[in-house]
Amino acid sequence: MIRVGIVGVGNIASMLIQSIHYYRYSGSVKGLIHTFIGKYGVGDIEVVYAVDVSKYKVGKDLAEAIFQPPNLVPKLVDIGLTGVKVRMGKVLDGVAEHMVEDFTPSDEPEPTADELVRELRDVGVDILINLLPVGSSQATKFYADVAARAGVSFINCIPEFIASDPKYQELFMSNKATLLGDDIKGQLGATIVHRALARLIAMRGGEIVESYQLNVGGNTDFKNMLEQSRLHSKKISKTMAVASTQSNPYETFNKVFAGPNGYIPFLANTKVSYIYIKALGFMGLPVTLDVKLVVDDKAMASAVLVDVIRLTKVLNDLGIYGAPSWASAPYFKHPPTLTRSDEEALQELYKRLDEYGVRIEPKYSLW
């Protein structure tokens, strides 16, 4: 079993917990990126610890907490009670002013870092996953420090620079824990599709002159991102992910616009993305491309997360600590070192796992 703790019992947590149950008991492997990583299937993941700050979630069993407002993921499977009670967290900058009525902070006393370190050890958590709202800079650092001190591995799903910060790489290395991040990619989300198209253009000799990726959705993730001051690292993460596919990433960075662009409540967890690229091809003649992508935003993230959790555990079992970039690159928008294509990143992951004698199934290749 892989014993996982979650910080932020929001929509991704709900989809993740339901998906573990679904894959464990249905016997299906449809829709998974990898069925096995090492000896682990998705059903081997167990969420044993959870932290939130909402008065509707704190104190409740996880099975009930994931369906409390403002979560929107419907009940897809019946998971029964889990025996895991959501504990109160430290609010810090997790709740933006315009989100107080949505995230409804509880009056329960906040824990100290020492208390959380002790609990992570007592519960025997292997991996802590950061699922806080975008812009939670202090809160992310607080929980990352707690995980490192407890010797617990950390997966940073949000666009705060932790795995890509040498200070945290060393901190996790010295505490013999593994760190993966930053900012999780979707299974077939806007970033990976935008990157694939941009890479194809570069591979065929074209040059991007302008490109945008507009995203709208109707969940608290999108509502939270209405506050521009919380978006700084999100924009860097998304834009650099696309620019890094080109031979001149820093020049291309200024020609790409990628970010969240609106909150439309009726869309709920449906995310709509519009990707536009104008490139110059043969003899400088223009090529333009427009794509509309419609996905379930939380399924996209959870599909990648079930891979990342198993990979983190495999690395930890092998004694690979700190933040190996080759492990983060296929799965995160802002890994410690950016890669030119997701194909290259995936092949590098396969090569490294082969060297360590770790099986990963199935293996994909585009070309």
Ligand X SMILES: NC(=O)c1ccc[n+]([C@@H]2O[C@H](COP(=O)([O-])OP(=O)(O)OC[C@H]3O[C@@H](n4cnc5c(N)ncnc54)[C@H](O)[C@@H]3O)[C@@H](O)[C@H]2O)c1
Residue numbers at the binding site for ligand X (CB under 6 A): 7-13, 51-54, 89-92, 94-95, 103, 131-134, 139, 157-158, 183-184, 186, 189, 219-221, 224, 297-298, 300-301
Phi and psi, residue 269, nearest 5°: -85, 5
Closer CB to ligand X, 16 or 202, in the complex: 16
Task: Give least dist CB 279 to ligand X, A.
Answer: 26
Q: CB–CB of 32/306 below 8 Å?
A: yes
Q: Which residue is nearest to ligand X (CB)?
A: 10
Task: Give least dist CB 176 to ligand X, A.
Answer: 25
Q: In 10 A of CB 283, how many CB atoms?
A: 5
Q: How far is Cα 91 from Cα 293, in angstroms, rounded to an integer?
A: 34
Task: Give least dist CB 41 to ligand X, A.
Answer: 23
Q: How far is Cα 101 from Cα 97, in angstroms, rounded to an integer?
A: 9
Closer CB to ligand X, 135 or 206, in the complex: 135
Q: How far is Cα 181 from Cα 156, in angstroms, rounded to an integer?
A: 5
Which residues make Cβ contacts (< 8 Å) with residue 351, sequence separation at least 6?
none
Closer CB to ligand X, 13 or 279, in the complex: 13
Nearest residue to 8 (alpha-carbon basis) of 47, 53, 46: 53
Task: Give least dist CB 72 to ligand X, A.
Answer: 8
Closer CB to ligand X, 158 or 208, in the complex: 158
Closer CB to ligand X, 23 or 331, in the complex: 331
DSSP per position, 194-207: HHHHHHHHHHTT-E
Task: Give least dist CB 84 to ligand X, A.
Answer: 15
Q: CB–CB of 252/240 below 8 Å?
A: no
Task: Give least dist CB 183 to ligand X, A.
Answer: 6
Closer CB to ligand X, 103 or 168, in the complex: 103
Closer CB to ligand X, 208 or 308, in the complex: 308
Q: How far is Cα 127 from Cα 131, in angstroms, rounded to an integer?
A: 13
Angle CA(204)–CA(210)–CA(214) in degrees, nearest 5? 110
Task: Give least dist CB 218 to ligand X, A.
Answer: 11
The three-state (H, E, C) secondary structure of 150-202, written as one string? HCCEEEECCCCCCCCCHHHHHHHHHCCCEEECCCECCCCCHHHHHHHHHHHHH
